[in-house]
């Protein structure tokens, strides 16, 4: 404020220049992102020949690239698979982690510190440490072929972060609410599901958003347990399109595939970007 | 009241049992098992424990002599330190610049965007478009500026693959750390800066004397996340080179994966399939994580500032 009233001074120019430069870099950075995504979108509607000769869209919109990815490369199937894995696991992890987070937030019991430490450290355990024994265990249980395996694994891998996030959230819900429900004759368990759980919706929505993006984009476990064509997730499916593209050279369809993989989380992000931004910090700033 | 207590106990047990079980089965058991397995020679994933032969520390000794293992660790160290330095400098820079912009929300979201895109799609965007040597962005961009030598850089060639991968990976990561840093900056009371202004402190003094010290806790968390990401580096290493296992972009987790499940195109490794040695790599990663925790907690001390 002071700067404006003091008029045009040398120090202002000195201050203006770095600020101006900073803004140019920010704009250039974002412009690059926009150009890359925009170019790929346009390329996905062109022919491969046009991509190579730098004449994008010359023959009009080639929606056939998209049709091809669905018919030839089975993207529809992968999409459905990803949706099934992600939605089921997102629901499952809330069902498991929300009650536990509530207990962690509100009750004192023997071993509570051990549980807290255990789950804090679980966030640091590399997936590489878990994958071999898990693969053997799943083999012993004859579950390698079941889609339930990957769903369960996604639930398990999401539990530490979900507990971490929701515990912080449940501490903000006043104890009086539970007391009131108990006086009304609810059992403890019923009081949680009927009264407290609905009040935790905002926290549950935020954490589910992160779980959704994380599971939708997951790669390592999908590579191990969903490599068969009919069980592949979109990420693994896209990789198989890349591999077949190195033989066919069908760039246009590849870019169409990229756009299909990109769209769901992109749309989610456009709708929820503010919630995501405040959510990231809600977790890490407190922690 | 006694009934009430009993009721409460029942809820605690019922609500905690699933997550305790999940921890034991999914986190604790595999970790112990992997450590155990790392001391054995295990032919393949199907061989029962009775067929494993105890080799002591041989797997670890062999690893130190394995050039691929050494390269893979060099690679993730480069990502951790060089990439990390770049990412945090840029994240701070953007956070400071955006703080004073009116269109802050839009730019914050745009810079964060790569974090929500499926990484496989990101890799394809970079390798098949940005770095493409025939119609790529960098080629056209530098070509249009007349910078022919820059335009001619073969980004996806073996010599450049690692640099290219690191640039692409870091580009996408900046937004995440920027958002964390921005939120931390928002929490610092404005009057601190006003006081500093009155005392005649410059921008640099304010940044290093006020901003940084007050962000210590969050910064430690952010650096921990970055290190965990570098140590567990897998997807980019596997997808970027296309072949799945190019030494140039190899990471320990990827090497481990290949030792266990067999490399697709590298017979050299397929012959040496050794699950025990793979487990040993996993253990080294776990030890690295613990080291990072310890070092960061010592270097960035825990004293709290009240504000």
Please write the tens of the pLDDT for every residue from B243-260.
Answer: 667 888 999 999 999 888
Average pLDDT, chain B: 88
Annotate A204-254 with three-state secondary structure. Answer: HHHHHHHHHHHHHCCCHHHHHHCCCHHHCCHHHHHHHHHHHHHHHCCHHHH
Helices A251-286, A147-170: crossing angle, 10 deg rounding: 30
The reported pLDDT for the residue numbered B264 is 47
Please, which residues 138-197 of chain A have a Cβ atom closer than 8 Å to chain B?
Answer: 139, 153, 155-157, 159, 163, 182, 187-189, 192
Q: How confident is the model at residue B305 (pLDDT cuts 50, 70, 90)?
A: low
- Residues in chain A within 8 Å Cβ distance of B121: 235, 238, 258, 261-262
Query: What pLDDT was estimated at residue B190?
Result: 82
- At residue A260, what are phi and psi to the nearest 5 degrees? -65, -40
Do A100 and B18 make contact, defined as CB atoms within 8 angstroms? Answer: yes
CATH number listed for the domain at residues B38-299: 1.10.3720.10
pLDDT at A282: 62
Q: Is A126 on the interface with B (CB under 8 A)?
A: yes
User: Mean of the pLDDT values across residues B14-22?
Assistant: 96
* Pair B276, B55: CB distance under 8 Å: yes
- Give A247's contacts in chain B (Cβ within 8 Å): none
In this structure, the dihedral spanned by the alpha carbons of residues B28, B30, B36 and B40, taken in order and rounded to 10 degrees, is 180
Instruction: Please state the separation of Cα B259 from the chain's center in Å.
Output: 21
Tokens 């049709």 appear where?
A67
CB contact under 8 A, B129 and A36: yes
**pLDDT band at B304, cuts 50/70/90?**
low
Distance (Å, rounded) from C-alpha B243 to C-alpha B259? 15
Query: Does B7 sit within 8 Å of A187, measured CB to CB?
Result: yes
If one counts every other C-beta atom within 10 angstroms of the C-beta of residue B252, the result is 27
Residue B111 has pLDDT above 90, yes or no: yes
- pLDDT surpassing 70 at residue B267: no
Token pair belonging to A95: 């069902």
Tokens of B63: 């690893």
- Please list, in sequence order, all residues whose beta carbon lies within 8 angstroms of the beta carbon of residue A152, skipping any fewer than 6 positions away: A92
* Model pLDDT, residue A11: 54
Residue B41 φ/ψ, nearest 5 degrees: -90, 120
DSSP symbols for A129-145: HHHHHHHHHHHHTT-TT
Model ipTM over 0.85: yes
At A200, phi and psi to the nearest 5? Answer: -90, 5
Tokens of A86: 């992600």
Give CA separation, A4 vs A1, A11, A12, A139, B204, in Å: 6, 12, 9, 71, 22
The pLDDT of residue B10 is above 60: yes
Residue pair B296/B227 in contact (Cβ under 8 Å)? The answer is yes
pLDDT confidence of residue B235: 93
Give pLDDT, residue A135. Answer: 93
CB-nearest to A128 from B28, B134, B256 is: B256
Question: By C-alpha distance, which of A160, A235, A169, A229 is closest to A201?
Answer: A169
How many beta-carbon contacts under 8 Å exist across A and B?
Answer: 254
Nearest beta carbon to residue B128 from set A52, A134, A251? A251
DSSP state at residue A125: S
Best residue of A128, A138, A179 to probe chain B, by most B CBs closer than 10 Å? A128
Which of B52, B23, B22, B26 has the alpha carbon at shortest distance from B40? B52
Residue of A nearest to B239 (CA): A239
| Residue B26 CB neighbour total at 10 angstroms | 22
Sign of the alpha-carbon torsion through B74, B80, B85, B87? positive
C-alpha B276/C-alpha A264 separation (Å) is 40
Please tell me the distance from the alpha carbon of residue A214 to that of residue B125, in angstroms, as a whole number: 19
Mutation pick from B9, B10, B14, B19 vs chain A, by most beta carbons of A within 10 Å, is: B19
- Residue B242 reports pLDDT greater than 80: no
Those residues of chain A that have pLDDT short of 70 are 1-16, 282-287
SS3 content of chain A, % helix, strand, coil (to 5): 80, 0, 20
**Which of A182, A243, A269 faces B113 most closely, judged by CB atoms?**
A269
> What's the distance, CA B159 to chain centroid?
23
Residue A88: CB atoms within 10 A of its CB come to 18
pLDDT at B274 exceeding the cut of 50:
yes
- Phi, psi values for residue B54, rounded to 5°: -70, 130
**A250 CB contacts (<8 Å, ≥6 apart)?**
A48, A68
Nearest Cβ partner of B235 from A100, A219, A287? A219
B19 to A269: CB separation less than 8 angstroms, yes or no: no
Q: Give the residue on A whose Cα is nearest the Cα of B141.
A: A32
CA distances from A74 to A239, A258, B135 (A): 13, 14, 27
The H or E element containing residue A24 is helix A10-43
CB A121 within 8 Å of CB B286: no
Tokens matching residue A252: 């246009």
Q: What is the pLDDT of residue B49?
A: 81
Residue B266, pLDDT > 50, answer no
Q: How far is CA A279 from CA A158, B66, B116, in A?
A: 16, 43, 14
Best of B30, B69, B115, B235 to disrupt the A interface by mutation (most A CBs within 10 Å)? B30
Residues B155-206 have pLDDT tens digits of 888 889 999 999 999 999 999 999 999 988 888 888 888 888 888 888 788 8
Contact yes or no for A26 and B94 at CB 8 A: yes
The answer to whether B118 contacts A217, with C-beta atoms less than 8 Å apart, is yes
For B195-232, write each residue's pLDDT tens digit.
888 888 887 888 888 888 888 888 998 999 999 999 99
Nearest CB to B179 within list A124, A139, A277: A277
CB atoms A33 and B257 under 8 Å:
no
Check CB contact under 8 Å for A130 and B30. yes
Name the residue facing B120 among A34, A131, A219 (closest C-beta): A219
What is the rounded average pLDDT of the residues B12-19? 95
Tokens of A110: 């023997």
Query: Taking CB atoms and an 8 Å cutoff, what residues of chain B touch A133?
Result: 29-30, 33-34, 37
- pLDDT for B303: 65
From residue A97, give the alpha-carbon distance in Å to each of A259, B87, B297: 33, 33, 28
Q: Which of B12, B27, B98 sits opposite A103 (nearest CB)?
A: B12
Residues 6+ apart with CB under 8 A from B55: B39, B40, B41, B276
In angstroms, rounded to a whole number, what is the distance separating the alpha carbons of residues A213 and A268?
Answer: 9
- The percentage of residues in chain B with a pLDDT greater than 90, rounded to a whole number, is 55
The beta-carbon neighbor of A109 closest among B12, B235, B290 is: B12
Q: Is A214 on the interface with B (CB under 8 A)?
A: no
Q: Do A37 and B125 touch (CB under 8 A)?
A: yes
Q: Is it the case that residue B265 has pLDDT exceeding 70?
A: no
Nearest C-alpha in A relative to B114: A33
Question: What is the length of chain A?
Answer: 287
Q: What is the DSSP letter of B265?
A: S
- Dihedral of alpha carbons B96, B100, B101, B102, sign: positive
**Which chain A residue shows the shortest CA-CA distance from B251?**
A128
Return the closest-CA partner of residue B60 out of B231, B268, B285. B285
Residue tagged 């730098």 (tokens): A54
Element (H, E) at B53: strand B53-54
User: Per the CB < 8 Å rule, is A277 touching B45?
Assistant: no
Angstroms from B236 CA to nearest CA on chain A: 10
Interface of A with B in 232-251 (CB under 8 A): 234-236, 238-239, 242-243, 246, 251
């Amino acid at each position: 404020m002071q700067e404006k009233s003091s008029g045009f001074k040398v120090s202002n120019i000195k201050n203006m220049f770095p600020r101006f430069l900073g803004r140019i870099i920010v704009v250039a950075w974002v412009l690059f992102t926009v150009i890359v995504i925009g170019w790929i979108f346009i390329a996905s509607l062109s022919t491969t020949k046009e991509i190579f000769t730098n004449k994008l869209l010359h023959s009009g919109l080639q929606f056939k690239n998209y049709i091809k990815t669905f018919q030839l490369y089975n993207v529809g199937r992968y999409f459905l698979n990803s949706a099934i894995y992600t939605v089921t696991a997102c629901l499952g992890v809330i069902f498991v982690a929300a009650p536990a987070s509530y207990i962690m937030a509100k009750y004192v019991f023997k071993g509570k510190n051990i549980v807290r430490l255990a789950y804090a450290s679980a966030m640091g355990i590399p997936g590489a440490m878990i994958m071999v024994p898990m693969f053997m265990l799943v083999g012993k249980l004859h579950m390698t072929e079941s889609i339930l395996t990957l769903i369960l694994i996604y639930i398990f891998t999401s539990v530490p972060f979900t507990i971490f996030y929701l515990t912080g959230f449940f501490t903000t819900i006043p104890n009086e609410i539970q007391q009131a429900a108990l006086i009304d004759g609810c059992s403890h368990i019923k009081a949680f599901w009927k009264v407290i759980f609905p009040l935790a919706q905002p926290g549950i929505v935020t954490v589910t958003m992160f779980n959704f993006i994380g599971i939708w984009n997951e790669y390592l476990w999908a590579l191990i347990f969903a490599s068969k064509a009919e069980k592949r997730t979109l990420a693994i499916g896209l990789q198989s399109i890349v591999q077949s593209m190195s033989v066919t050279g069908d760039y246009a369809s590849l870019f169409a595939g990229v756009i299909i993989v990109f769209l769901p989380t992109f749309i989610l992000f456009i709708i929820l970007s503010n919630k995501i931004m405040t959510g990231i910090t809600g977790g890490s700033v407190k922690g | 009241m006694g009934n009430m207590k009993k009721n409460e106990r029942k809820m605690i047990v019922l609500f905690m049992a699933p997550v305790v079980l999940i921890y034991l089965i999914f986190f604790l058991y595999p970790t112990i098992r992997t450590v155990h397995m790392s001391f054995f020679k295990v032919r393949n994933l199907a061989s029962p424990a009775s067929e494993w032969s105890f080799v002591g520390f041989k797997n670890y000794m062999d690893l130190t002599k394995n050039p691929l293992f050494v390269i893979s660790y060099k690679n993730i160290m480069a990502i951790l330190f060089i990439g990390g330095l770049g990412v945090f400098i840029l994240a701070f820079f953007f956070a400071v610049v955006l703080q004073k912009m009116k269109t802050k929300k839009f730019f914050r979201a745009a810079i964060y965007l790569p974090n929500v895109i499926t990484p496989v799609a990101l890799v394809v965007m970079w390798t098949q478009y940005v770095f493409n040597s025939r119609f790529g962005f960098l080629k056209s961009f530098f070509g249009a500026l007349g910078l022919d030598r820059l335009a001619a850089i073969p980004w996806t060639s073996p010599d450049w693959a690692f640099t290219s991968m690191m640039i692409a990976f870091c580009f996408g990561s900046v937004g995440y750390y920027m958002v964390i840093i921005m939120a931390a900056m928002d929490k610092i009371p404005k009057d601190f800066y006003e006081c500093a202004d009155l005392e005649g402190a410059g921008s640099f003094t304010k940044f290093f004397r006020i901003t940084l010290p007050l962000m210590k806790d969050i910064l430690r968390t952010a650096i921990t996340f970055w290190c965990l990401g570098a140590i567990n580096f897998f997807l980019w290493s596997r997808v970027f080179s296309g072949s799945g296992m190019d030494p140039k972009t190899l990471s320990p987790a990827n090497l481990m994966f290949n030792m266990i499940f067999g490399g697709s195109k590298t017979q050299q490794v397929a012959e040496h399939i050794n699950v025990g040695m793979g487990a040993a790599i996993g253990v080294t990663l776990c030890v690295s994580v613990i080291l990072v925790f310890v070092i960061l907690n010592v270097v960035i001390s825990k004293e709290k500032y009240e504000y």
